[in-house]
Amino acid sequence: MAVISKLGRMMEERGTGTIELAARVGITPVNLSRIKTGRVRSIRFSTLNALCRELECEPGDILGYSPDEKPG
């Protein structure tokens, strides 16, 4: 069971690059990349809020749940 990141897909749909989005959200490109690939153990609500604001989406558009996947 795992929470999975759908951030990469959302960024692609919005035509937003990692460096650009990281700057707009106020985090490093490395940290954004880690969120995008699911290689984080946690995410701050303030970061999730900023991502949703900048991508004009809901948290469920960025994060999902898959009972069959193993945590990253």
Q: For the chain, which residues make up each domain, given as ranges?
A: 3-65
Could you give the residue ranges of the DSSP H alpha helices within 1-72? 7-14, 18-25, 29-37, 45-55, 59-62
Evaluate whether 32 touches 22 at the Cβ level (below 8 Å).
yes
Domain 3-65 falls in which CATH fold? 434 Repressor (Amino-terminal Domain) (1.10.260)
Distance of alpha carbon 35 from alpha carbon 33, whole angstroms: 5
At residue 68, the pLDDT reads 78
**How much of the chain, in percent, has pLDDT values that exceed 70?**
93
**How much of the chain, in percent, has pLDDT values that exceed 90?**
85
